[in-house]
Amino acid sequence: MHLRRTDRGFDRPTPSEITPRTVYEARRAWLRQMAAGAAGLPLAAWAARDAQAAFARPGKLPALQTVPSKAAGAGTDEAVTRYEDVTGYNNYYEFGLGKDDPARNAHTLRTSPWTVEIDGLAAKPGKYAIEDLLKLSPLEDRIYRLRCVEGWSMVIPWAGYSLSALLKRAEPLSSAKYVEFHTLADKATMPYVGSRVLEWPYVEGLRMDEAMHPLTLLAFGMYGEVLPNQNGAPVRLVVPWKYGFKSAKSIVRIRFTDREPRTAWNKAAPQEYGFYSNVNPDVDHPRWSQATERRIGEGGLFAKRRKTLPFNGYGAQVAQLYAGMDLRKQF
């Protein structure tokens, strides 16, 4: 590991270290494999080959009429990040490990037909077609900051409704303490499902009160349009006070359970990614500080970093959920 000492006294990671270790190692192995397999074909040319298949904006959803949100914390005065950045700089490991891989590769994702199954500890489990899910509650405009565990952030206008609207329909039993989210894992259309970076499907989880919190969003669109595939079409979670990896993309199953879910990142590196993963500038990632962040679109790597706020700035709305907990231990 190669760390630089900064004048502020903490170790700032080099860009290679901002990538989770498992991903970084897998990417190196993949590059070696590619270099060996594509002997004679320079890597850049190989990469440019399928950049042709790059992504086209998906356009308006017929049902994408939004209403202003009344949820406290659903707006911000901060500048919205450029659409090109939000759709061109992604983490969606099913489609590759590089930030530009999802935009290039996710066109293979089939988002229709799509159903979301709700099961587990609930009186009214069910299966919803995406068309019915869209109509279940009015879609609201919500502008959220998204803070990635890697140290960058964006400001994104979403269209969706509180996840609680859907969860309540299923009538969870009193024994249901957690909600688990399973996302699509289809080897035929997702080139990295089957790779050893993570266990598939990508699973995430929330405690019941977190899942029911009005800010927890089930999102169907962004920037007034359908979610692009690389951002988690056709339906994803957005949990603005947690690191971005909690916001599962392309959800196919929601399960009520009495046990804390084993999540994909927690399984891959438990000492680095805890179950809660609330944005917390006071708890460093084992390999880098979480005190500051780089806002994507603000002048590249040399732009002044912003201070990261506790709960990503949503403390007034969510801090009480964690009263009495030691968030250094339950990170």
In the complex, which residues of this chain contact ligand MTE (CB under 6 A)?
Answer: 90-94, 146, 148, 183, 202, 231-232, 244-245, 247-250
For ligand MTE, the closer CB: 248 or 279 = 248
Q: Do 215 and 317 form a contact (C-beta atoms < 8 A)?
A: yes
Alpha-carbon span 72 to 66, nearest angstrom: 17
Q: Do 199 and 268 form a contact (C-beta atoms < 8 A)?
A: yes
For ligand MTE, the closer CB: 201 or 214 = 201
Question: Which residue in the shown chain puts its C-beta closest to ligand MTE?
Answer: 244
For ligand MTE, the closer CB: 92 or 275 = 92
Smallest gap, in angstroms, from Cβ of residue 185 to ligand MTE?
8
Residue 113 preceded by cis peptide, ω within 30: yes
Smallest gap, in angstroms, from Cβ of residue 85 to ligand MTE?
9
Give 311's Cβ-side CA count (13 Å radius): 14
Cβ neighbour number for residue 140 with a 10 Å cutoff = 19
For ligand MTE, the closer CB: 202 or 256 = 202
Question: Do the bridges between strand 292-295 and strand 306-307 make them parallel or antiparallel, or are there none, so unpaired?
Answer: antiparallel
Residue 258, both tokens: 């009495």
Q: Do 117 and 219 form a contact (C-beta atoms < 8 A)?
A: no
Alpha-carbon span 311 to 193, nearest angstrom: 31
Smallest gap, in angstroms, from Cβ of residue 286 to ligand MTE?
17
Smallest gap, in angstroms, from Cβ of residue 327 to ligand MTE?
20
For ligand MTE, the closer CB: 172 or 210 = 210
Smallest gap, in angstroms, from Cβ of residue 18 to ligand MTE?
12
